[in-house]
Chains A and B, each alone.
Chain A
Amino acid sequence: MTAKDTHLSAFVVDALVSGALTSVEQEAAERHLEGCIRCSDDVAAVRALHEKFTADVLPRTLPTLRAREARSRRPMKWIGVGAAGLAAAAAIALVLHFRAPPPIPKVQDEPYLAIKGSAGMKIVAQHAGTQLEVVDGVKLAKGDAIRFVVDPNGLPYLLVASVDGDGQVTVYFPAGGKESGRVEDGHKVELPGSIVLDDARGPERVFALFSKEPIAAGPVTTALRAIGAGGRDAILRAGTLPVPAEAQRSIVFDKVSP
């Protein structure tokens, strides 16, 4: 029998100290602690860290945290899609919809967007009434809307495409295009339109391919279909595509039931 079978996991210890266990789970954990010195020590250590944070770390770091959060916050500029439009689109959409392109707005300062010395992409989602940055593994649901913000870093052509858990391949930018489209240079270029997620479940990996010359969409969609044929794990593991892009970025999110 290994230690994993006989001791409380770190997650359970953290949940216990944080009061996140159910009463049944808490009773079981406390019964274990009565006879286990190692886990009792773990719980005591975590409690001590909680106390140190509250008494010392929090008052020292809160002002900095507030300032950083304020810098990263910006007014919502949900482009091209009103609330009613979102709801209607979510109700009828079986595939992802790319909205008619409105004027391209500039995103205001967001320090965390910049990827110094390299092209970059960020996905912003409207989820459960909140705007959030999509990082790998984020769970999104039917009806959520996403949009793209890129930093071309001097590379004038961009192609954005994705593959989802059903093997569906979509070219988002240029919408349904046959090759890369031009993007203006800048640190935070917001691509036109937003996308309302359909009810397909599973992972979806989005690639942004930055290049000096246009890239044909054909090889890209072929490579994406090959990834999609490998199923969920292949999508989660996928790294770069075998296409002549000077820079590639990808983000994977998970579409789940609302």
Chain B
Amino acid sequence: MTPPPAPRVVQDDRLTELYRTYGPVIYARCVRLLGEPVAAEDATQETFLRVHRHLATAPTSHEALLWIYRIATNYCLNEVRNRKRRPDLLRELPELPTGDSEDLLADRDFAARLVAEAPENLRVVAWLHHVDGMDQGAIAELEGISRRTVVTRIADFAAYAARFAKRSQ
């Protein structure tokens, strides 16, 4: 049998080039998700190691950015959950924003804190929508799920926020 061709391996100089090109946006994304520069440095390396082969073959910078968002968002929100990097988030809230749950979630900082405590299946979509301000179509493209699923999860998170607000009043 003819041996398969040697794999195309990302060489060191290519790795450096990719890190120089995409490291800044991964780092910025991780800082925003984790809220801590030191934790974000670790998360940047973890994300980059998971995603760099995709970045090397991404046909456009838009596609590369999708990969970065997909991997970094999941990784960092899992970190928030697992390591409790943001403990006592809800207790830090000085007071609830007034109004209905939509008003509540229009406050990005409040939404970010609430997402950290939300059920696992809602967290990523809720963060992308309420904190990152992405619309349903963009989230569906990013996560590879249907728009209908996105709508359902956003509605479920709004209900979760409303229950939280009711409990806290």
Chain A residues in contact with chain B, CB under 8 A?
A: 2-4, 7-11, 14-15, 17-20, 46, 49-54, 57-58, 61-62, 64-66, 68-70, 72-73, 75-76, 78, 81-86, 112, 128-133, 135-137, 139, 232-233, 236-237, 254
Contact = CB atoms under 8 A, between A and B. Distances in A.
B97 interface: no
Contact of A64 (B6, B8, B37, B45): B45
Contacts, number: 148
B29 interface: yes
Given A14-B69, A82-B3, 12 more contacts: A7-B133, A10-B29, A17-B25, A46-B28, A53-B28, A54-B24, A66-B16, A69-B15, A83-B2, A130-B56, A133-B50, A137-B144
B101 to A, nearest CB: 12
Interface in B16-50: 16, 19-20, 23-25, 27-29, 31-32, 37, 41, 44-45, 48-50
B65 A15 contact: yes
Contacts of B143: 137
Interface string B37-80: 10001001100111011101100111011000111001000000
Q: Determine chain A's interface SS by DSSP, over half rule.
A: helix
A66 B13 CA distance: 10
Determine the interface band of chain B, counting residues with CB < 8 A from chain A.
35 or more
B151 interface: no
Contacts of B6: 76
B50 A135 contact: yes
Pairs of residues from A and B, 4 with the lowest C-beta to C-beta distance, nearest first: A76-B7, A10-B132, A50-B24, A20-B61
Nearest to B48: A65
Interface of B: 1-10, 12, 15-16, 19-20, 23-25, 27-29, 31-32, 37, 41, 44-45, 48-50, 52-54, 56-57, 60-62, 64-65, 69-71, 74, 102, 106, 108, 121, 129-135, 138, 142-146, 149
Nearest to B54: A132
Given A4-B135, A46-B28, A58 B49 contact: no
A215 B30 CA distance: 42
A137 B70 contact: yes
A68 B49 contact: yes
Contacts of A128: 57
A196 B88 CA distance: 48
Given A11-B134, A19-B61, A82 B25 contact: no
Contacts of A73: 9-10
27 contacts: A3-B106, A4-B130, A14-B28, A14-B65, A15-B61, A15-B62, A17-B25, A18-B65, A20-B61, A50-B24, A51-B24, A53-B27, A54-B20, A54-B23, A57-B23, A57-B41, A61-B41, A65-B48, A66-B12, A66-B15, A68-B45, A73-B10, A78-B7, A86-B4, A137-B143, A233-B146, A237-B121
Contacts of B133: 3-4, 7-10
A129 B4 contact: no
Contacts of A53: 23-24, 27-28, 44
B57 A61 contact: no
A4 B129 contact: yes
A57 B64 contact: no
A180 B70 CA distance: 34
Given A18-B61, A65-B45, A3 B108 contact: yes
Given A54-B20, A139-B144, A11 B44 contact: no
A132 B53 contact: yes
Contacts of B135: 4, 9
Contact of A9 (B28, B37, B70, B138): B138
Contacts of B53: 130-132
A97 B138 CA distance: 35
A18 to B, nearest CB: 5
